Structure 1
């Protein structure tokens, strides 16, 4: 993009195109139908994002088949996808997966990235483990050199979008002990690799996840992304970008909650008048609106600088945004449900589905307390 105005115009066009497409292909009725027919095939609208809209590569450099819009594209698209509760494959595939692939060029990575941009592949990032508790260096899955490739052994937990994915990007320890900053590697593993076992299940917000066991899974040498044993900085960057993308998703989720709540309180009557005329509810709605706008402004501000920020600046800024978003998700989500009353938690009403997603976003990629500790740890640029 040549100028900031041109970039903003392009992003607005992408938002509008995606919003119209989702209205036609991923409305609330389609969501209810999809939830009633759970399976491991990618959501039916996924390939349309590439074939009909050609937007999967919007964030990637033009040299990699993209539009060169960077993190701004992820944030714009994630907010729109959040408004339709449709963000998960994009998060795992484009924000994390494609981001890691395009930073580590190679024969396998380049071929897989081309398939991703064409809408022909879904990726999942297998990083979290049962004991890790958001410690990004606490990895016990082992990667051992064996012949002309590697052997992978261990267990990953709650791998988001894994049932939909054809390939996993797996973090594993090449050397050292769990918690060591040195010794982590990233490898690409096909989901049908011999020795890989997956237990898939639905998540509370309607997504799909899996626990995965690697039992002597063998991968070729070109499956390694980057330099063996030096992947922690790349993992940190990918997870920070994913965290900020989820912040943007939450803005779309909360805007839908606010819209539905405002419509409801204007229609619902008590004592012969709309309950929107009650002062206590007006104050509650004002607090919800302020929390949402503050979270949105902070997310946008961090998004403008994250592409060029130093690691410690990125960590502090992203965690600050996540804390604000978590507080807003609680204020807006709980306020919306309480104003709707008991019907706010029914499956038939959209507000309950958005509330569940907002609740899970509060703790996704770390709860507020974890991010507050991270902000304090990086204050002044020192760990």
Structure 2
């Protein structure tokens, strides 16, 4: 695939890359992880005020940079290269993406806060029994009261708002009768159990008990098509993050193979290691191409199929490249002191975030059969 970035997109990438290289090195990131909060508020404000990247996919009318999905792809790949902890995906891609789809007064009220860094959104959609299925909902909104449980809600501990899916009618797995809500994270009746993920980000089990929800909090009724579109956009952005992670895993492993000596020569001189590194490179390049294709098709009728193809490919690449990176490094590849192990953790989590390889292969098969 021949794809060239515009001058503005290249500038966005280079600006973010320089900032992360200067201020977000491995040691600085580890201090944040050990701090137990799962993010650094100062970095988030720098993203908003110094770099302006929180406005990358938003119209200039909101004070953004006038970009879209490609700009999200550029930002997310660079964040993958530094395994950034801050909630760009949940706030800008998912929260901001939902606002762009909904439009109107609510978008006018929320998007400027996202761009300024003062509004942070956590996506409370998935439930323990539903796994990857967005329509499998036990959380209910009845009589203006929200009740239920959302699992592994990343960034909920430091979010100002929760983007919540809830059933307003029908059976638990019906496609209809699903509403999308935006509610204050500190609303009465909301409780959380916070923890750190293996990757180091903050996540929560979020419980709703008779939370009062007004009409102003309901973004859309019968919202499943909108929710699926937003999650597809987020999945494409996640694939871009994975590409950044995988590029670093391959480059780091290649450098190590040139330096590590065994039997009097660098292990990279052995043909079996060379073959493995070439296979890793091919997996990375294929993941990059599939991610670009999915990103470019987000506004077409082929969106769902393209995203599922990309996510399935990226999931396989994450497993292959991550495991081979650790194997070439040997025992030190899984130590806390070496960065490669942390990139491997992130690659492993990405395999299943927003759907596993099997889930997306099955989804693609269903789309193909229905066509």
Do they superpose with TM above 0.5? yes
2:345 is the alignment partner of 1:351: no
2:203 is the alignment partner of 1:203: no
2:273 is the alignment partner of 1:273: no
Which residue of structure 1 lines up, in the alignment, with residue 349 of structure 2?
Answer: 360
Deviation for aligned residue 1:326: 0.9
Alpha carbons of 1:352 and 1:41: their partners in 2 closer, same or farther (altered >3 Å)?
closer
Q: Is the 8 A contact 1:243 1:365 kept in 2?
A: yes
Distance of 2:38 and 2:216 partners within structure 1: 28
Which residue of structure 1 lines up, in the alignment, with residue 30 of structure 2?
Answer: 32
Alpha carbons of 1:88 and 1:372: their partners in 2 closer, same or farther (altered >3 Å)?
farther
Within a 5 Å distance, the mapping from 1:78-97 to structure 2 comes to: 78-86=76-84, 89-97=87-95
Which residue of structure 2 lines up, in the alignment, with residue 216 of structure 1?
Answer: 210
Q: Which of residues 337, 357, 362 in structure 1 aligns to 2:326?
A: 337
Secondary structure at 2:51 match in 1: coil
Distance of 2:13 and 2:218 partners within structure 1: 35
Deviation for aligned residue 1:203: 0.3
Deviation for aligned residue 1:282: 0.1
Deviation for aligned residue 1:102: 2.1
Within a 5 Å distance, the mapping from 1:268-307 to structure 2 comes to: 268-306=260-298
Distance of 2:278 and 2:11 partners within structure 1: 30
Distance of 2:38 and 2:139 partners within structure 1: 25
Deviation for aligned residue 1:106: 4.3
Q: Is the 8 A contact 2:70 2:296 kept in 1?
A: yes
2:48 is the alignment partner of 1:50: yes
Q: Which of residues 11, 17, 26 in structure 2 aligns to 1:19?
A: 17
Which residue of structure 1 lines up, in the alignment, with residue 136 of structure 2?
Answer: 138
Q: Which of residues 220, 229, 236 in structure 1 aligns to 2:228?
A: 236
Deviation for aligned residue 1:95: 0.6
Structure 1: segments with no counterpart, 5+ residues: none
Residue range with higher mean Cα deviation, 20-29 or 202-211? 20-29
Deviation for aligned residue 1:206: 0.9
Deviation for aligned residue 1:107: 3.8
Secondary structure at 2:55 match in 1: coil
Q: Is the 8 A contact 1:42 1:164 kept in 2?
A: no
Which residue of structure 2 lines up, in the alignment, with residue 309 of structure 1?
Answer: 300
Q: Which of residues 220, 225, 229 in structure 1 aligns to 2:219?
A: 225
Q: Is the 8 A contact 2:56 2:71 kept in 1?
A: yes
TM-score (norm 1): 0.93
Distance of 1:205 and 1:17 partners within structure 2: 25
